[in-house]
Structure 1
Amino acid sequence: MYRRPLQFVARNFVTGAATRKALRHEACFSRALVAPQLARVSTPCLTTCRTLHITKQLCSVKETPQHTEEEVGAFTKFIEAMGFTGPLKYNKWKIKIAALRMYTCCVERVNYDEFFERCSLPDTLGSWFLIAQLHVWMCLVRMRQEGRAGKYMCRYVVHSMWEDVEQRSKIMGIDAIHRKEAMKAMTENFYAAIFGYDEGVLSDDCVLAAALWRNLFSRQCEDPRQLELMVEYVRKQMQYIDALDGEDLLLTGEVKWRPLVEENAQSIVKVVAPTYNDAGL
């Protein structure tokens, strides 16, 4: 019931946004995340070779161009210091509509059932929110690169997310007291998660895996292959969304996510789990 189509209530904007510019992503996924972790898993099936499918494009991440800071006048700086938004390059209402459409892409164009199954997540509102916030964060990372207009759009993407979560909570019949407590916990989780994800996407796969383990899996993941799958998923989505035209995103908000598991893998990498004999022990 919590996964019914998106419903929104028109109200004034509540400020809240994610931070940071997306810089360069780590290049190659061929050094697998699970190699050092599988040595500590005692199941016999992990000592054999297994095949991972990755695309060649993952080894050549596009370098994101650095956007120059937009120059604004003294009046614009003054009114924005007062908490208002000055004139933007595009119409504000168009940006708001694009932000709503972008958030809709995060909840309507993602196969949540596949995430629940492959990541062993319970089919609950909390798990839905953890997956949704991961995709919202990736959108925020991209839009922060588009200057003041992009930051303005980020605020409405986040605003749309909280409106949607509140509506879904009401549909589920959660009373006002428990709903307020749940919203507070989700808010704290969201802003803690984006800092962890920011650090992970700018670092190596181990740091990103740690952020996913803490936030997406809520420290409950015991299968390193699930972490490996999600690290690869985040890397390829960031590469894809970085290649999208910023002007189109500001005006349309259209994002088409790549599947969790690629069916037409272009290359195969074999990863052999290390053993004590391999380590010379």
Structure 2
Amino acid sequence: MTQKLFEACNIQGDYKIPQLHEKGAEIPKTGDGEHIGVGESWWYKELGLMPTFSTWSQITFLHMYLLTVRLRALPSRESFQTYSRHLIDHFSHNAENRMDVLHGLTSRSIRNKFLKDLFIQWRGVLAAYDEGLIKGDAVLGAAIWRNLWKASYNGPDGKEIDWEKVARVVAYMRRVTSELAKLDEGELITKLVSGNSRSFIFSPSEADKQLVGGRR
């Protein structure tokens, strides 16, 4: 069950490196040296985020966080801890495989170092988004900006980022949190994952865009 829940989070920010199948092809990189892949989700197509390993990890963390908020309401603390442990384990296995297969990090020691850094980031994500849910949209938006947009005022094209896109993620997180709260534990799989591995609740909503646009 936790594997399926993780996949519902993982698919949101998934990306590919087409050059891996092209002999001698050079993989494009960001200014920080990260490989740039190709992503098809709305996080890349509509929000303009760069399909890199770090962006994937933050999009996945965001969805794992949304699940965590719901799982905290489980009657048993032990059940919540089991879910949490398995979710981060699935993330770690996927991240390590991604480092090796997509990015050529064959050194186990280097991968382990990155995994430790990612776990620290996960703890920071929990604290930052918790604060945002409690203190309001401005604080939540700031946390989203720091994590997804790396606290940069400019997008990949060099232009100032569209702050409406940050606000749209705030609306998305609020809506998904509310919808997950209505689900029983047994409904998480059926409501989150459809036959083509795309989650229903984790899909973009036109209502989020309209809500943000209506606040201007």
Q: Normalised by the size of structure 1, how large is the TM-score?
A: 0.55
Q: Structure 1 residues 109, 192: closer, same or farther in 2, change over 3 A?
A: closer
Query: Mind listing any 5+ residue stretches in structure 1 that lack a counterpart?
Result: 1-97, 273-281
Aligned partners of 1:265 and 1:210: how far apart in 2? 18
CA contact (8 A) 1:144 1:154 kept: no
Q: CA deviation at 1:120?
A: 2.5
Residue 260 of structure 1: which of 187, 204, 207 is its match? Answer: 204
Identity %: 22
Query: Is the contact made by 1:105 and 1:254 (CA closer than 8 Å) also made in structure 2?
Result: no
Match 1:162 to one of 92, 97, 100: 92
**Alignment TM-score, normalising by the size of structure 2:** 0.70
> Could you tell me which residue of structure 2 aligns to residue 174 of structure 1?
105
Q: Distance in 2 between matches of 1:253 and 1:158?
A: 21
Mapping 1:39-78, distance limit 5 Å: none
The letter of the residue matching 2:203 is P
Residue 267 of structure 1 and its aligned partner are, at CA, apart by 7.4
Q: 4+ runs of 1 displaced by more than 4 Å?
A: 109-112, 263-269
Out of 132, 138, 161, the residue aligned to residue 200 of structure 1 is 132
Q: Is the CA contact 1:102–1:253 (under 8 Å) kept in the aligned structure 2?
A: no
Which piece of structure 1 moves more, 194-203 or 114-123? 114-123
Match of 1:152 among 82, 91, 106: 82
Distance 1:257 1:109, change over 3 A: farther
Question: How many pairs does the alignment contain?
Answer: 173
Kept in 1: contact 2:167–2:212 (CA 8 A) = no
Counterpart residue number, 1:85: none
Higher share in helix: 2
State which of 122, 125, 130 in structure 1 corresponds to 2:58.
130
Check whether the contact 2:65–2:126 (CA below 8 A) recurs between aligned residues. Answer: yes
- 8 Å CA contact 1:99–1:253 kept in 2: the answer is no
**Pair member with larger Rg:** 1
AA of the residue aligned to 2:63: H
Q: How far, CA to CA, are the matches of 1:238 and 1:264 in structure 2?
A: 13
Pick closer, same or farther for the CA change 1:268–1:122 going to 2, 3 Å. closer
Over 3 Å counting, the alpha-carbon distance change for 1:266 and 1:194 in structure 2 is closer
Gaps of 5+ in 2: 15-39, 154-160, 193-199
1:235-267 per-position Cα deviation (integer Å, ceiling 9, x unaligned): 111111111112444xx5752324324279887
